[in-house]
Chain A
């Protein structure tokens, strides 16, 4: 056994950059396998000067892989941590694969629950409600906030995975993302309510009480219909047809009166 050979910092930066392309060739057979192999390839080149060893290492990482794209940074970093040990014989060759297969499922579930169903919808609702109340500046603020969290976590997870390998689980557990997700979803729902009120107030300004009733009914009936399982697209077309027809009748009666 020889001394651990560390992947150079510049190579780690390259790997992180390539992590951003993790889903470029998402496919049904290996899902993010091509993306993972593409991301880790510079590190493998640095660790395995021997061509045959490098080919074998890359083949390892061309197997099935699927995780949340942000959380996968931790696994890419951790896989390099394990490959450094494999390269000097401190760990068996299937060590990185065990690491990947153990973490990908739980991190995918956590990433989907936090980023895709909580933080991003919250940021979207914040941007939308802000755009209705304040203007374009709110969109910029919401995007900056979202990406500050997203990129900080993505970089931090990659570094934690590389530094600690399996210990990254402890780092992620300490973030309490699940509890935070519920609070973000609740705040997002409230922001949607504020946005609906802003739309109704615009309707009051544009068309008086009749317009306000039309918009308000659309929000309430729409929510109840969606809660009962109505499909979004058919419901949208039905709502538009009903609203335009009702508005035509109201405006006609108003004109006749």
Chain B
């Protein structure tokens, strides 16, 4: 009876976690384009929010900066569609938290890196989904015109809000799915290759450094390379000197 109860608790917790991921991903997908656009769906805000929703703020904070910098250039200019950084961020953070739970540890850099490797392609899947959403919205525009022709101005105007449903549904479906795949694969890899943990942790730092470079490349101004490398060298030197003084 006790075993059955504890299984029931584990099952309920897991279902609630996927529900939380679905809601966070759905709302982020809406905020990203359809409503407000106040940076709440950017990885730097969304990873901690996702972590918080799953009861692990630290996991979100570990991932926030590198994911933000990696996708700093993901902007919606005119009719172009960027990678769906919000969808991937929720899946990556969710995958990392659930993987760590399965391993009985906190989210460490090795778990975070493997979750990124598994879930990052969702950003491209999300972009394809966005293209389909736009085609679906063409139909909404036709429907609004038909409502107006039928003499229903209020219904015609309110058709706009229907466009929020599909991005919400797509993200709410895909993010928990991505997290589930990560939660199955990441613990399996770490259990099978325990010696890989240390190299993976260093790999996470290399990934974070590459993300910084990606962020700098997203800032298109002629002086950007000079400022990036000068600030890199200057801050590094300052950090090493300070470290030397303290040690």
Contact = CB atoms under 8 A, between A and B. Distances in A.
Residue of B45, B199, B213 contacting most chain A CB atoms (<10 Å): B213
A25 B235 contact: no
Contacts of A207: 201-202, 205
B153 interface: yes
A135 B213 CA distance: 21
Contacts of B215: 121, 124-125, 128, 188, 192, 195
Given A41-B153, A192-B69, A223-B213, A206 B202 contact: yes
A27 B93 CA distance: 31
B73 interface: yes
Contact of B48 (A136, A204, A214): A136
B70 A232 contact: yes
Interface string A197-222: 11111111011000100111111101
Of the four ranges (under 10, 10 to 19, 20 to 34, 35 or more), the interface on chain B belongs to: 35 or more
A99 interface: no
Nearest to B232: A193
Interface string B176-217: 000000000000000000001011111101111110111111
A146 to B, nearest CB: 5
Interface in A21-79: 21, 23-31, 33-35, 37-38, 41, 44, 51, 54-55, 58-59, 62, 66, 69-70
A132 interface: yes
A37 B144 contact: yes
Contacts of B216: 188-189, 192-193, 196, 223
Contact of B224 (A124, A189, A242): A189
B140 A34 contact: yes
The A interface, classified by DSSP as helix, strand, loop or mixed, is helix
Contacts of A227: 217, 225
Interface string B138-163: 10110011001001011011111111
A218 B209 contact: yes
B76 to A, nearest CB: 7
A152 B207 CA distance: 36
B15 interface: no
Given A24-B163, A239-B206, A243-B202, A219 B213 contact: yes
B78 A223 contact: no
The B interface, classified by DSSP as helix, strand, loop or mixed, is helix
B23 interface: no
A185 interface: yes
B164 A24 contact: yes
Interface stretch (A4-12, A81-89, A163-171, A244-252): A244-252
A27 B206 contact: no
Interface in A125-148: 125, 127-129, 131-132, 135-136, 139, 142-143, 146-147
Given A58-B156, A214-B205, A112 B78 contact: yes
A223 B228 contact: yes
Contact of A131 (B44, B196, B221): B44
A31 B140 CA distance: 11
A190 B144 contact: no
Interface of A: 20-21, 23-31, 33-35, 37-38, 41, 44, 51, 54-55, 58-59, 62, 66, 69-70, 108, 112, 116-118, 120-125, 127-129, 131-132, 135-136, 139, 142-143, 146-147, 150-151, 182, 185-204, 206-207, 211, 214-220, 222-223, 226-227, 232-233, 235-237, 239-240, 242-245, 247-248, 251
Interface of B: 33-40, 42, 44-45, 48, 57, 61, 64-66, 68-70, 72-73, 75-79, 83, 113, 116-117, 120-121, 123-124, 134-135, 137-138, 140-141, 144-145, 148, 151, 153-154, 156-164, 196, 198-203, 205-210, 212-221, 223-225, 227-236, 238-240, 243
Given A192-B69, A193-B234, A233-B120, 5 more contacts: A66-B78, A127-B44, A199-B212, A222-B210, A244-B203
